[in-house]
Every structure is written in C-alpha cells, then in structure tokens.
Amino acid sequence: MKNVAAIFVLLEVGVDEQNHLSQSWKDVLIALSQIERLMLLAQGHDSGVVPDLLNARLANRNSIESARSPQSTSFFGFGKKQTISEQAFQHHVNQKLPFEIVSQINFTEMEVAIDRVFSKSCDIEGDGIFDLVAALSGVARVEIESSGQSAQPRMFSLQKLVDVCYANMGRIRVQWSALWAVMNEKFNEFGCHSNPAISFFAINSLRQLSEGFFNIEELSHFKFQDNFLKPFNFIIANNPNLQVKELVLDSTKAMIQKKSDLIKSGWTTLIQVLTTAASENSELIVAKGFDITKMIGRDHFDNIFKQEGYEPLVICLTEYAKNVKFQKISLQALQSMKKIQKTVTLRTAEDLDEATLTQLWFPLLFGYHDVAMEGDDLEVRSKALNYMFDALVENGAHFKGELWDKTCKELLFPMFELLET
C-alpha cells in the first residue's frame, strides 16, 4: 500500500513542482510510463504486448556493452544476436500483477491524476515546457523501440506528447512558435518511423492538432499555419511507405475540405505537400495528389489568390505536367493550367495595374515554358509550348511594358537562343 501512496505523491510532485523539475522530468515520466503499464497488466493485457520500459532500457544498455566486448559473439560466431525489443521481451514475458495489489488501487483516480500532470503543463513558466517536451520525447522513443515492429506498439508517452500540444495551444504566439519548432522535429521523427503504426498515429495526431490550430486566428505578420503544417511535407518526402504517403494526402484533403475558410499561410505548405507527391513513382500517389490539386484550383481559387497561394499552385501543376512516368496525368495537368488561364483571362479584362498583371500571368507563362523546356514527354512539351504562345497571342494586348520585358528576357529570348544553337 505504501507503494501506491508513493505513486500518488509522485503525481502531485509532477503538478506542484512542474516549474522546478528541469532534468528530473525524465525520471518522473519513466515512472508514469511504468504506472501505465501496471494499469494495463491489471486490466488483463498480455505482458508481451506492453513491454517493460526499464527492462528495455537495461536491454539497450547490455546490447551496447556487448557490442563493445569482444566476447559478444557466440561460440565460433554462431547464433543470432537479439534485438533490443527481443531482449526486453525475455525480461518481462509472462509477468502478472498480484491480485492483492490490484485490489488496493483505484485506477480511475490514478488515471485522472496522470492526465492532470499533462493538462496542467500549460501553467509551466518560461522555458520549463521545453524540459518536459524533451523528456517526454525521450521516453516515448524508448517505449516505441521496446515494442519493435509490433502492430500495437506502446505509445503512452507519444499520446501524452500530443496532449501537451493541446494543453499549450493558448500560449502566446512567439512562445508557441518556439515550442512548435521543437515539436516539428518530433513529428518528423515519429512520422517517418519504420513501424507504420507509429507513423499512422503521428500523422493522425498531427492532422487533429492542425484542425485545432486553424481555429486560432492567424495574425497577418505571423505565419503560424505555414509552420505547423511542415511535418506533412517532410513525412511524404522521407517516409518510403506508400500507405503512409497516402495517409498524408488523405489528411491534406480532409483539412482543406473542413477548414478551407480558415486557411491562410497554410495554403503554401499544403500545396507543397501536393508538389512533393508529383515526383513520386507510384501512380496511386501521383493521381491522388493531382486530384486534390485540381480540387483546389476548381473550388478555392479566389481564396488561395488572396493568401499568396496562386504561384505555388501553378508550380504544383507544372510539376505534375513534368512527371516522367504518367503521360495521362501530365496532359490533365496542362488542361488544369489551361482552365486557370481562362480565369486569369477574365480578370485581365478588368483594369488591372501592372503588378497585378505580372502576378497573374508570369507564373502561368513560366509554367508553360518550364514544361516545354524541361518536360520528358514530347507530346506534353509540344502542348505546353502551344499553350504559352496561344496565351501571348490572345492576351498580349493587355500586357504592359514591364510584363512584356520580363516575358521576353526570361522566357522567349532564351528559348530562341537555344533553337539557334
């Protein structure tokens, strides 16, 4: 019973002394992870599904020491070296929690006390929150590695890391921005983990967090949305698992459908995710990314133009038109650019200043030029070249001096010089 009382004292320390724990957070959080494991065992979970964190750390230490020792190999070099998760499993397999201990614990009260440690993290002053996040990330990493490639890895601390994000959403923008810079690295790491279960959890958690962040008004000089969405692009670019890439695209589509009216600087990052998908080797990923890009151009053009997302959108379509494996998608991307051209043409009929004309036309003309000069498929390149000259012939009368100068110097003259050589 004294051990149970000690647990509650520790939980109180995690709340009352949170501003002073500093490096001691690691010890507190390891204890909380072990408590959560104890609760799972009491509920009848197999000990093989909830590996012992301390034994996993011991196995890791022994593994390192064995690697340093010349006697670490078996007789005549035979025998397979166990992984950290396998060594940990040997320590805790078939563990059971005695009934007399289970009967003395009020698990509901304990769960509430554990949650309070993390929900009250919003009250941590100054840079103390970074100590908590660093320690929590470290413990989460050990839990995950102790689970190996299990379909149900331990993610108690990873879940609490997400809970800390929710609890601290109300911090001032500058402080939260610094905190999120650290969290970005954690989501990048866990979103690219070799165990898909970890990656899926990280991406789904990131999507849910992002939907909450969209509800916080973005200040005109503080492009917060762009920052918290960056892990999506990192994950789709660096995780080789196609199911993970597909989940990133599905998450991108879901956020656009749910929160399009609230997206500001986030348009640039979301479109960058789709641009990254354009260079994939999987037709499924390229096609899914292109469908989302078409949806943006069709349903949200005015919104992205106001939020400086027009040029990134054109660049994105250009990359789909330049993809080297799927001609059908390339041709469809050119058609989408052609549709945008019609919208731009209608706006050109208005009395626009030179800066706006350049903002509207040059990205589109450059996109056609880029496909014509750098594309792989001859038919696609030919169509892009025709579209560019058609656009100039049909709309050039509305162009003013600066736009014509820019078009000639950066697009037409280099093209003609190349033909001469």
Q: Is residue 90 part of a domain?
A: yes
Would you give per-residue pLDDT tens digits along the chain (421 residues)?
A: 677 788 889 999 999 999 999 999 999 999 999 888 888 877 777 766 677 776 655 444 444 444 444 444 433 344 455 554 455 445 444 445 555 555 556 678 888 999 999 999 999 998 899 999 999 999 999 999 988 888 889 999 999 999 999 999 888 888 888 898 899 999 999 999 999 999 999 999 999 999 999 998 887 777 889 889 999 999 999 999 999 999 999 999 999 999 999 999 999 999 999 999 999 999 999 999 999 999 999 999 999 999 889 999 999 999 999 998 999 999 999 999 999 999 999 888 777 788 889 999 999 999 999 999 999 899 999 999 999 999 999 999 888 889 999 999 999 999 888 777 6
Query: Could you give the CA distance from residue 130 to residue 137 in angstroms, rounded to a whole number?
Result: 10
Query: Could you give the CA distance from residue 346 to residue 412 in angstroms, rounded to a whole number?
Result: 24
Q: What is the DSSP string of 324-393?
A: SS-HHHHHHHHHHHHHHHHHHHHHHTS---HHHHHHHHHHHHHHHHHHHHH-S-HHHHHHHHHHHHHHHH
- What pLDDT, on the 0 to 100 scale, is given for residue 4? 76
Give the number of other Cβ atoms within 10 Å of residue 132's Cβ. 25
CB 202 within 8 A of CB 140: no
Task: With CA atoms as reference, report the closest residue to 137 among 161, 115, 102, 168.
Answer: 161
Q: Is residue 50 part of a domain?
A: yes
Query: Could you give the CA distance from residue 65 to residue 299 in angstroms, rounded to a whole number?
Result: 59
Alpha-carbon Rg for the chain in angstroms: 28
Q: Is residue 291 part of a domain?
A: no
Range of the domain at 108: 1-66+83-168
Residue entry with tokens 């397979």: 80
Q: Is residue 152 part of a domain?
A: yes
- What pLDDT, on the 0 to 100 scale, is given for residue 166? 92
Q: Is residue 352 part of a domain?
A: no
Query: Could you give the CA distance from residue 414 to residue 411 in angstroms, rounded to a whole number?
Result: 6
Cβ neighbours of residue 73 under 8 Å, at least 6 residues apart? 79, 81
Q: Is residue 120 part of a domain?
A: yes
Q: Is residue 151 part of a domain?
A: yes
Query: Could you give the CA distance from residue 256 to residue 232 in angstroms, rounded to a whole number?
Result: 14
Q: Is residue 305 part of a domain?
A: no
* Count of structural domains, the chain: 1
Torsion angles phi and psi, residue 150, rounded to 5: -55, 145
Task: With CA atoms as reference, report the closest residue to 200 among 142, 262, 242.
Answer: 242
Q: Coil, strand, or helix at residue 119?
A: helix
Q: Coil, strand, or helix at residue 50?
A: coil
CA 274 to chain centre: 13
Query: Could you give the CA distance from residue 296 to residue 302 in angstroms, rounded to a whole number?
Result: 10
User: The tokens of 355 are what?
Assistant: 């800066």
Using CA atoms, how far residue 260 sits from 128, 203, 209, 227, in Å, is 35, 19, 16, 17
